[in-house]
Amino acid sequence: MMKLLLLPGDGIGPEVLAEVRRVIDTLNAHHGLGLNVENGDIGGASLDRHGTPLAPHVLEMAKASDAVLMGAVGGPKWQSVSYELRPEQGLLNLRKGLGLYANLRPAFCFPALADASTLKRDVIDGLDILFVRELIGGVYFGEPRGIETLPDGTKRGFNTQSYTTPEIERVARTAFDLARQREGRVCSVEKANVMESGLLWRETVAALHAREYDDVALSHMYADNCAMQLVRDPRQFDVILTDNLFGDILSDAAAMLTGSLGMLPSAALGEPGMPGLYEPIHGSAPDIAGKGIANPCAAILSLAMALRYQLRRPDLADLTEKAVSDVLDAGYRTGDLLGGEDTRLVGTEGMGRAITERL
Amino acid sequence: MMKLLLLPGDGIGPEVLAEVRRVIDTLNAHHGLGLNVENGDIGGASLDRHGTPLAPHVLEMAKASDAVLMGAVGGPKWQSVSYELRPEQGLLNLRKGLGLYANLRPAFCFPALADASTLKRDVIDGLDILFVRELIGGVYFGEPRGIETLPDGTKRGFNTQSYTTPEIERVARTAFDLARQREGRVCSVEKANVMESGLLWRETVAALHAREYDDVALSHMYADNCAMQLVRDPRQFDVILTDNLFGDILSDAAAMLTGSLGMLPSAALGEPGMPGLYEPIHGSAPDIAGKGIANPCAAILSLAMALRYQLRRPDLADLTEKAVSDVLDAGYRTGDLLGGEDTRLVGTEGMGRAITERL
Ligand SMILES: CC(C)[C@H](C(=O)O)[C@@H](O)C(=O)O
Ligand SMILES: CC(C)[C@H](C(=O)O)[C@@H](O)C(=O)O
């Protein structure tokens, strides 16, 4: 029996995962999914209960699962806890602990929602970008790091951006492999013009491409230009390969372009055999937490990614994705999605039920 | 007599600075500007001529000027020169050499061009953001940095993100001071949730605010969220204060939002008494260089910023800005600006002449 670990976390996390649970129950009952679900704590919720944002036993549970699905972490409540205890640290430790080096973040546009975007429809219609973001290296994890007091009493905060050839190669492989299943184009993004780590990134990706992937079209772009091109003409991209920090920023911008932020799932993958971590792209949204109005679609679509990539039920992934898009076509909208004619405002549970009914 | 150093640089740089020259000649002849203009090399052009992207005598000329106006640097021709010799290095050395710690990058929307944006008109109409980007610290200049070979033969590329309290305070002051002349709101952007340097940034800005600027409204935002908010609702921002790397990426995204990229100037300022460096936000655009079709407006508006901030002729800054906007209203468009009804396509020189005629 396959095992899925649910980590609701903070803010709207528990609310949206309740709807994931509803979907799993239906798939278990009617489609023979046979998925065994466990629950664990992460982030601020874990800090409050266990005094740490990721308890060792939860990491062990994650390792013993086939996949992990997280809600969200963070919130103003934990703004002033010390650095190592921050909710975000729980997520970072989980990524690192499972060796999840490749973060897949699709940015696509649901036709029913194209008008919810702040961009003109003709710029984003049919948009379908896949970000492959390096997830356990770079400035997020580089040493040395810290805040030190200088002899004159002022302080200095520092972090290290660092990438080795093998770290770059393994995530580049993921990007090239996925591009082969798509349009066959990879755009690799860094600041090689001002950072040596970016220069090594560019050279390593180019060399790997020449050695093993010359059937894929490779281009290179500086991160600032990429930010501009995403706004100017996002459909020029197929797969965007980039580092941890640039990937964080650029994939969020791209997600917002689609007008479908509350709709977008993500997957973090490591070596074959390790469980992946699936999570919605949106954050914990403390401002709307507890109100029952959060959009559960991104979390439900994250489950679909898990069904496809790791739980060996691509058929149920398709089914779930179709249920979500049918519900949108039928006019169901949570508050984050711009309404329009013939749409119907529902809450978190209303959206979850509407999706489940179609399974 | 005031002295302005022109550094045309690479790509379209020389073409757009030729039109700046035309504007200066007119202001000298008809408005008593009395500006003395010198020329110098920078970037790839300097590398080709002097074997270095910024020759010491050019830095000396810059120091002896009242202001410096640059075109652009970089291009595929110098892609494979060694790191210290890259065209971009000339620009970085100039910024550092003049101590230009505060980079002012306005992102505003010319009413005549609102339809050229990929964003819906109602999202960007009246958009007016001022980025204050730290320019001589952070990962651009932090040590140690480099590419090393590890014992196992693989390589490691590394850079250091580093900020001290005084570095943060001086640029934050610029942001707060400028906010007082605008809507009085500063949003400070970092990744304090994953980087200690960002945490020190946040704490230092907050402390300075509490001590000296509590009449200004201060908010804090993570860089990934800022990228999203710029797409979702850019008009929520007044002044955005951020570091060198985030500022590079986010201000470029914001510039593209306006649909007026070829229109946007910037200023880099240091201590009082030091010359500032003024430059268009756009790059060297090697793909259109030499064709006489580049938009000279951003360069001409950079001159206007210099007239206002450093050359003590705010009246002529106003005049020049009005000439540019009149020309747009009259329908003149370079190829980068989406046409529309009643517009007239002109080249670099055509645009420059149209502006000069109105001075
Ligand atoms: C919560 C935070 C640590 C995280 C990150 O910066 O990676 C988030 O923004 C993300 O993109 O998953
Ligand atoms: C040319 C390059 C070094 C520069 C930078 O990254 O700062 C440019 O992108 C800019 O923003 O002025």
For chain B, domain boundaries: 1-112+265-359, 128-257
pLDDT tens by residue, A9-33: 999 999 999 999 999 999 999 999 9
3-state helix, strand, coil in chain B (%, to 5): 45, 20, 30
What is the average pLDDT value for chain A, to the nearest integer? 96
Which-ligand-closest: CA of A42? 1
- Domain B1-112+265-359 matches domain B128-257 at the CATH topology level: yes
CA distance B16 to B292: 9
CA distance A161 to A168: 13
Q: Is pLDDT above 90 for B259?
A: no
Closest by CA to B227, choosing from A257, A156, A203, A328, is A257
Q: Is pLDDT above 80 for B239?
A: yes
CA distance B350 to B346: 5
Return the SS3 of A252: helix
Q: Is pLDDT above 80 for B340?
A: no
CA distance B246 to B196: 15
Interface of B with A in 126-145 (CB under 8 A): 139-140, 142, 145
Q: What are phi and psi of A99, to 5 degrees?
A: 65, 35
- Answer whether B225 contacts ligand 1 (Cβ < 6 A): no
A82 touches chain B (CB under 8 A): no
Q: What is the pLDDT of residue A351?
A: 98
Q: Which residues pair with A279 in a beta bridge?
A: A266
B322 assigned to active site: no
A128-257 has CATH 3.40.718.10 classification: yes
Structure tokens, A292: 């029952």
The b-or-e profile of B253-283 (16+ CB within 10 A means b, else e) is: bbbbbbbbbbbbbbbbbbeeebbbbbbbbbb
The reported pTM is 0.96
Asked if A211 and A272 count as a contact pair (C-beta separation under 8 A), the reply is no
pLDDT tens by residue, A178-236: 999 999 999 999 999 999 999 999 999 999 999 999 999 999 999 999 999 999 999 99
CA distance B320 to B314: 10
Q: Is pLDDT above 90 for B105?
A: yes
Going from the Cα of A269 to the center of ligand 1, the distance in angstroms, rounded, reads: 15
Percentage of chain A lying above the pLDDT 90 cut? 92
Angle, CA of B95, B98 and B99, to the nearest 5°:
80
B252 assigned to active site: yes
pLDDT tens by residue, A297-323: 999 999 999 999 999 999 999 999 999
B211 touches chain A (CB under 8 A): no
To test the pocket of ligand 1, the residue of B194, B221, B226 to mutate (highest count of ligand atoms within 8 Å of its CB) is B194
Among the ranges given (A222-236, A259-273, B14-28, B169-183), the one the predictor scored with the smallest mean pLDDT: A259-273
Going from the Cα of B88 to the center of ligand 1, the distance in angstroms, rounded, reads: 31
To test the pocket of ligand 1, the residue of A42, A54, A88, A245 to mutate (highest count of ligand atoms within 8 Å of its CB) is A88
CATH of A1-110+263-359, one of 3.40.718.10, 3.60.140.10, 3.40.50.1820, 2.60.40.10: 3.40.718.10
Spatial neighbors of B336 by CB under 8 A, at least 6 apart, are: B261, B262, B294, B295
pLDDT tens by residue, B278-298: 999 999 999 999 999 999 999
Confidence of residue A341 (pLDDT cuts 50, 70, 90): confident
Confidence of residue B79 (pLDDT cuts 50, 70, 90): confident
Q: CB contacts < 8 Å between A and B, how many?
A: 187
User: B157, A163: Cβ pair inside 8 Å?
Assistant: yes
- Answer whether A91 contacts ligand 1 (Cβ < 6 A): yes
Question: Regarding the domain delimited by B1-112+265-359, which CATH topology (the fold level of the hierarchy) does it fall under?
Answer: Isopropylmalate Dehydrogenase (3.40.718)
Higher pLDDT pick, B115 / B6: B6
Which-ligand-closest: CA of A88? 1
Strands B102-108 and B67-72: unpaired
Q: What is the pLDDT of residue B337?
A: 86
Residue B2, Ramachandran bin (φ over 0: left; ψ between -120 and 50: alpha; else beta)? beta
B158 CA to chain A: closest CA distance, Å? 4
- CA Rg value for chain B: 20
Percentage of chain B lying above the pLDDT 90 cut? 91
| Residue B310 CB coordination number (10 Å) | 20
A151 touches chain B (CB under 8 A): no
A85 touches chain B (CB under 8 A): no
| Residue B236 CB coordination number (10 Å) | 12
Comparing CB atoms, the residue among A140, A157, A196 nearest residue B199 is A157
Q: Is pLDDT above 80 for B338?
A: no
Spatial neighbors of B252 by CB under 8 A, at least 6 apart, are: A224, A225, A227, A228, B281
- Answer whether B349 contacts ligand 2 (Cβ < 6 A): no
Q: Is pLDDT above 90 for A262?
A: no
Q: Which residues of A are less than 8 Å from B196 in CB distance?
A: 83, 145-147, 157-159
Percentage of chain A lying above the pLDDT 70 cut? 100
Strand ranges of the sheet holding A239-242, from the earlier edge strand across to the other edge: A35-39, A2-9, A67-72, A276-280, A265-269, A102-108, A128-134, A239-242, A185-190, A217-222
Q: What is the pLDDT of residue A255?
A: 95
Asked if B262 and B351 count as a contact pair (C-beta separation under 8 A), the reply is no
Q: Is pLDDT above 90 for A39?
A: yes
Residues contributing to the annotated binding site of A: 75-88, 95, 105, 133, 224, 248, 252, 283-295
For residue B164, give Cα distances in angstroms to A150, A341, B210, B258, B319: 9, 53, 19, 33, 40
- Answer whether A88 contacts ligand 1 (Cβ < 6 A): yes
Spatial neighbors of A78 by CB under 8 A, at least 6 apart, are: A44, A47, A85, A86, A87
Going from the Cα of B278 to the center of ligand 2, the distance in angstroms, rounded, reads: 13
Q: Is pLDDT above 80 for A288?
A: yes
Interface of A with B in 300-359 (CB under 8 A): none
